[in-house]
Amino acid sequence: MSGRTYDCIIIGAGPGGLQAAIYLARYNRGVLLIDWGGGRTRHAKSIENVLTHRRISGTELIERGLEQARIFNVEIVKGRVTSVKKDGPFTVATAAASYRSLTVVAASGVSDNFPPLENLYRFLGVSYFTCVDCDGYKTTNKKLAVVGDSLGAVNLALAMKRLYTRDVIFFPYRLDLPGSFADILKEEGIPTAASEPTRLIGDSELEALELADGTRVPCEAVMASFGYRLNDEYLAGLPLKKDAEGRKYVVGGACESSVSGLYIVGPLNTGNDQVVIAAGEGATAAIDINKRLLEKAWSSETGEDGAGAPEGADR
């Protein structure tokens, strides 16, 4: 255990964690950012919906964020957080070390479920997409395959046709499509493929999906719907409030969870999963954390409850 108690430990160097780190470091707070590497943002090869960036890759966005965080003296260590415990302050553990902190921001994001399609990674983020809000626009007027393993994928196919392209084919993947759903697709002019794809075909541009029998279905883009897993194992054991499905974490307006001092930003909470949203939540959490720490310092110095704390400490 390091002897130091940080003002905040941030778990995950995606847009949410990096933005929180930059804000807190610019209050001259002691900030430790622990990151395992990889992450969902790095799968995004071409992000087009972040203000002032006509186009930026997720990797460049993260690398620039790390550089900016270092400039403001954020301490960054590579490691996978395995547990967070609260006993007064927080204890955050990786396999290699344990650290103490007054507050924690969980910003470890989610991981996509990928079906075993050959060449998937070659096209991921280029013409194999997993998020309508991110990449739906790139399918405009393209020959599109919607592939999914749940009935939600049927709604996705209908939405894609309405928003982006008339040329949609639906591939149920290991999914028994009820007749009523097949009928809706038919009525909307969306053909349903008879079997599932096994391979994406093409060099730099996607040209077709290949089926198990070798048939090739011409296609320029795939919108896939296979869901994702939360990167939240280290939160097990904390009494955290979750949504009605018992999956995502419920947070307040400043992204504080039901455990005081533990903030959860990005797609681990019930909001939408976007770069600017995660970043905005990181900033929101950081501002609240700073106010809280000011109040705490004020009340321990004066014995008052923080109501008379200096300007900027109004909660």
Ligand X SMILES: Cc1cc2nc3c(=O)[nH]c(=O)nc-3n(C[C@H](O)[C@H](O)[C@H](O)COP(=O)(O)OP(=O)(O)OC[C@H]3O[C@@H](n4cnc5c(N)ncnc54)[C@H](O)[C@@H]3O)c2cc1C
Binding site for ligand X (CB under 6 A): 11-17, 34-41, 43-44, 47, 49, 58, 80-81, 107-109, 112, 124-125, 130-131, 134-135, 231, 234, 266-267, 273-276, 278
For residues 11 and 234, the answer to whether their CB atoms sit within 8 Å is yes
- CA atoms of 313 and 296, how far apart (whole Å): 10
Q: Which is nearer to ligand X, 84 or 168 (CB)?
A: 84
- 274 vs 294 by CB, closer to ligand X: 274
Q: Rounded to the nearest 5 degrees, what angle is found at the Cα of 37, between the Cα atoms of 66 and 86? A: 90
Q: CB 243 → ligand X: shortest distance, Å?
A: 17
CA distances 170 to 133, 157, 183, 197, Å, are 19, 7, 12, 11
Nearer to ligand X, 92 or 193 (CB): 92
Which SS3 state, helix, strand or coil, does residue 119 take? coil
CB of residue 277 vs ligand X: minimum separation in angstroms? 7
State the CB neighbour count (10 A cutoff) for residue 290.
21
Identity of the residue, 108 or 165, whose beta carbon is nearer to ligand X in the bound complex = 108
CA-CA distance, 63 to 260, in Å (whole number)?
A: 31
| Nearest partner of 275 among 80, 107, 38, 26, judged by Cα | 107
What is the closest distance, in whole angstroms, from the C-beta atom of residue 202 to ligand X in the complex? 17
What six digits make up the tokens of 152? 């939600």
CB of 216 closer than 8 Å to CB of 208: yes
Which residue number, 40 or 161, has a Cβ lying nearer to ligand X? 40
Q: Which residues contact 78 (CB under 8 A, 6 or more apart)?
A: 34, 35, 36, 37
Shortest Å, Cβ 225 to ligand X: 13
Side chain identity at residue 136, one-letter code: G
Q: Whole-number minimum distance, CB 34 to ligand X, in Å? A: 5
Of all residues in the shown chain, the one whose CB is closest to ligand X is 14
Nearest distance, CB of residue 169 and ligand X, angstroms = 21
- CB nearer to ligand X: give 148 or 267: 267
